[in-house]
Amino acid sequence: MKQELLHVLAGNSFAMGDGQGDMEVDPYAPIGLWSFDTRFVSRWVLTVGGQRLHALSRDELASFETRFVLVPGTASHYVDADVSVIRHRSLDDSFNERITVLNHSAEPADLTVRMEIGSDFADTAEILRPAPRRPEVTVDPVRRQLRLCYQRERFTRETLVTSTEPVEIDQHGMTFRIRVAPNGEWQNDLHVAMIIRGASGRDLRSSLESHRHHVRTDMREDLARWFDHAPQLVAHRDSLESAYTQALTDLAALRYMPLSYSERVPVGGLPWAMSLYGRDAMITCLQTLPFTPELTPATLHLLALLQGGQLDDYHDEEPGKILSELRYGEAAAFGEQPTVLYYGAADTTPLFVVLLDEYQRWTGDTDLVRELRHPARMALDWIDAYGDLCGDGYLRYQSRNSVNGVANQTWRNSPDAVVDRHGREPAFPRATCELQGYAYDAKLRGARLAREIWGDPAYADRLEAEAARLRERFNRDFWLPDRGYYAFALTPDGEPVDALTSNLGHLLFTGIVEPERADALAAHLCGPELFSGWGVRTYAAGQRPYNPVGAHLGAVWPWDNAIIAAGLRRYGHDTEAARIAAGIFAVAETLGGSVPEVVAGYSREVTKYPVQLPAAGRPQSWASGALLMLLATMLGLRPCDDNLLVDPQIPEGYGRIELLDVPGRWGRADCYGRERPADRRRSRRTARGAEPYQRSGTAR
Amino acid sequence: MGSSAVEHLERRVAGRHPDLPENTAGSLRLDLRDGGRTEHWYLTIDQQDVRVSRSSDNAELVVGGDREVFDRLAEGGLNPAAAVLRNDLTVQGNLRLLLTLRRLFPGPPGARHPREAACGGGGR
């Protein structure tokens, strides 16, 4: 059986290895030290006296720091070891490992400590079959350095390992012949720099303003500051507090500094998405506005900078389109993958406008809305000019890159994700329903920004009229009266794709749903076909393609559920929203640690335990963000001018919840909610109704 | 077909660019290396207007590379972000302006409007 993998992570860098701290290539997992989509170390194996080590304990001190206590030999052999080793690693801009060898005997110990070091400089895109590369290895005994360098034309990536203690270096590693005094210790720091060569052989980042002025921050201080800025949660239920702390920790760890911007933005998550994804980043921002609003301006600024400017088939780019994915590795650099700036997503562009508006509602920051007027206008123009592929007023997608473009350009991006109840795939271009909701929402929110901030009432009128027509058209063409829900998608001929999916919740979230239809949608979302007990399945059971372990054909995604719960509350389905929130928190609570991106869709009654999918990433920004959004949904947080409105709907068993110092245009405000006794619960269907626990902002 | 970088800079870069945000402003220098010679082109961007001159003054972003690399940029066959990752273009200063530069050069030739690619060019 494969052993458990451990990681340290910081921004878009991570080191993943086994329980002893060793790293050896494995085709099924991105083992090694990675940064900017390149594996800088693929072999990192420690031995003492030629023997591998066995871990007695592992202490994951922080997301960027782990300590291993080890003894030579295998578990069945060591008894009363005379020697033990402490391996303490941390990751910031570089990877650092402090090795301490302890001699427990009364005699001096002469030992040979060796670290095997190698790199294949693989790209993230080729884990399964890394290309054979021949890095040049240079030994520099004077500087105690081992240099591994890979070059293809002018593209150069370099790993530089430096030892603080005297060392013998060869092509494959470093050897330390040491004598440790009785009851004494020996200590050595290995420092691994990961270099992306730019002008004059120096690191590219040293010549960039965004990075030159970046003072290397102390990771601990940085994390403390992050927590200090976030609201404090005091909950009757301890597991809620730990889930909250874990989510904030994950979100802090998953921020990275891009090359072209000087503030950090969220990456997708470990291990396959350690890069900027437009969708993941914006959803994470939407989820975290009441908690860590500072993520949003950086994300919007960066995505505006990277906004599409031209037609480009290979990169699925059009003017005004918002980025789908950005990578820095060799495959992107040489165009073997379209990921240097890939725009193959139909939802990111409307979401950009949605996020800009929502951010302003929370923070009152009109400057950013003014500053980003041009990119927001371009995004709104894109919806009709480039997104309406059949000229029928619906936002659709079809990749123009037939080599390695993404076929399904929505969050359901697996190749088989879009199918009807019988498993038939519709033709392209596809108009999935949630895209229409996002487009509708973007137009309405764009109209508000135009009217209130850009001083363009004529444009606001136009957008509102377009939104109204879209809503009418959508409610006519997508509604399946016999089934009582909206079609998953429309074919190019306008035929509905009849599958029942969790996208219904997104429709509620965007407000495109006619209020009299919301009851039916809520019943589906919380019915046995869609609701697993842990959360809402992506694709309802009882349909032929349903598969509980299919990522988008039955599995349960926390981020999807956070959107659904917020949508349910928007339409007054508070009890259903609370049920979903409780289900997802139960996943986090039962599994412990970071909430996974997705869990299987098996019924909770059958498995009793959330079944994890091997491919599911953990931690993931939008999964961790989902817990914050669900918490905000439980409390019913909503900005209303300069006040924070609170309308709690706390699930059973949660008791009292206090969220203190919620940031926003009110300054800071405290929110309280408590579970209502069952007999006192009343049904409230007046959407956005009374605010029983309203507390206006108390600026500090 | 195709256009050399110098032709492109002389004829098509200066002037109004409504697709640039009004508030994008800055100076950019392109250093075109040709054997032992380096030609400096200086771009000033303000209020959707681009001025082009020949100067080796300091700029907020300096982009350097072989003339041939810039020629490919002018033909639309080169993504400047990829060229930086490959180290075919070197950059010094404020990298945001590289993304602005991208809008001043053409996209790949023969690229299609998505509607044309999808529904055979049928407009509304």
- Digit-coded pLDDT (tens) for B91-110: 999 999 999 999 999 999 99
> Mean pLDDT, to the nearest integer, of A124-139?
92
Window 36-65 of B: residues touching A by CB (8 A cutoff) are 60, 64
* pLDDT tens-digit readout, A3-27: 689 999 999 999 999 999 999 998 8
Residues in B touching A153 (Cβ below 8 Å):
86-88
**Chain B interface disruption, residue of A261, A356, A374, most B CBs within 10 A:** A374
Question: What pTM was computed for the model?
Answer: 0.96
Domain B5-119 has CATH 3.30.1050.10: yes
Residue A597: both structure tokens together: 């991106």
Report the range of poorest mean pLDDT among A411-415, A588-592, A686-690.
A686-690
Closest residue in chain B to residue A393, using alpha carbons only: B124
- Percent of chain A whose pLDDT exceeds 90: 89
Amino acid at residue number A31: I
Provide the residue ranges of all domains of chain A, joining segments of one domain with +.
6-201
pLDDT reported for residue A214: 60
Interface size, chain A vs chain B, as Cβ–Cβ contacts under 8 Å: 133
Q: What is the CA radius of gyration of chain B?
A: 15
Separation of alpha carbons A665 and A643, rounded Å:
8
Q: Which residues from chain A sit within 8 angstroms of residue B90, using beta carbons?
A: 198-199, 207
Tell me the pLDDT tens digit for each residue of A274-303.
999 999 999 999 999 999 999 999 999 999
B120 touches chain A (CB under 8 A): no
Binned at pLDDT 50, 70 and 90, residue B2 comes out as: low
How far, rounded to the nearest angstrom, does the alpha carbon of residue A602 sit from its chain's CA centroid? 24
The structural architecture, per CATH, of the domain A6-201 is: Distorted Sandwich (2.70)
DSSP secondary structure code for residue A517 in this structure: G
Cα A328 off chain centre by = 18
Q: At what angle do helices A621-635 and A278-288 cross, to 10 degrees?
A: 30
Q: B115–A334: do the CB atoms touch at under 8 Å? A: no
Q: What is residue A314's predicted lDDT score, i.e. its pLDDT?
A: 97
Percentages (nearest 5) of helix, strand, coil residues in chain A = 30, 25, 40
Q: What average pLDDT does chain B have?
A: 93
Pick B19's closest partner by Cβ from A199, A209, A319: A319
Neighbour-count burial of A307, counting CB atoms closer than 10 A to its CB (0-12 exposed, 13-18 middle, 19+ buried): buried
Q: Give the residue, A681 or B18, on which the prediction is more confident.
A: B18
Judged by a CB distance cut-off of 8 A, whether residue B94 touches chain A is yes
What pLDDT does A692 receive? 38
Q: What pLDDT is recorded for position A37?
A: 97
Query: A311 and B99 in contact by Cβ < 8 A?
Result: no
Q: Give the sign of the dihedral formed by CA A440, CA A441, CA A442, CA A448.
A: positive
Partners of residue B85 in chain A, C-beta under 8 Å: 155, 196, 328, 332-333, 340
**Which residues of A fall within a CB distance of 8 Å from B112?**
311, 313, 400
Q: What is the mean pLDDT of residues A36-47?
A: 98
Give the pLDDT of residue A583.
98
Across the range A31-49, mean pLDDT stands at: 97
Q: In the block, which residue shows the tokens 């290309």?
A: A131
User: Cβ–Cβ of A309/B22 closer than 8 Å?
Assistant: no
Query: What pLDDT, on a 0 to 100 scale, did the predictor assign at position B122?
Result: 42
Residue A344 CA to its chain's centroid (Å):
18
- List, in sequence order, every residue forming a beta bridge with A113; answer none if it has no partner: A48, A176
pLDDT of residue A209: 84
What is the three-class DSSP state of A457?
helix
B84 interfacial to chain A (CB closer than 8 Å): yes
Confidence of residue A404 (pLDDT cuts 50, 70, 90): very high
Rounded Cα distance between A515 and B93, Å, is: 53
pLDDT per residue as tens digits for the range A585-627: 999 999 999 999 999 999 999 999 999 998 888 999 999 999 9
Cβ within 8 Å, pair A391-B122:
yes
CB contact under 8 A, A313 and B111: yes
Q: Is residue A335 scored above 90 in pLDDT?
A: yes
Closest listed residue to residue B95, CA positions, set A199, A267, A557:
A199
Q: Concatenated DSSP letters for A284-343?
A: HHHHHTTT-TTHHHHHHHHHHHT---S-BTTTTB-TTPPPSEE--SHHHHTTSSSGGGB-
Summary mean pLDDT of chain A: 94
Q: Among A80-84, A188-192, A656-660, whose mean pLDDT is lowest?
A: A80-84
Residue A649 in 3-state DSSP? coil
Residue among A621, A633, A620, A501 at smallest CA distance from A579? A633
* pLDDT band, very low/low/confident/very high, at A199 (cuts 50, 70, 90): confident
- Tell me the mean pLDDT in the region A631-643: 97
**ipTM beyond cut 0.90:** yes
Q: Do A313 and B102 touch (CB under 8 A)?
A: no
Q: Which residue has the tokens 């959707």?
A: B48
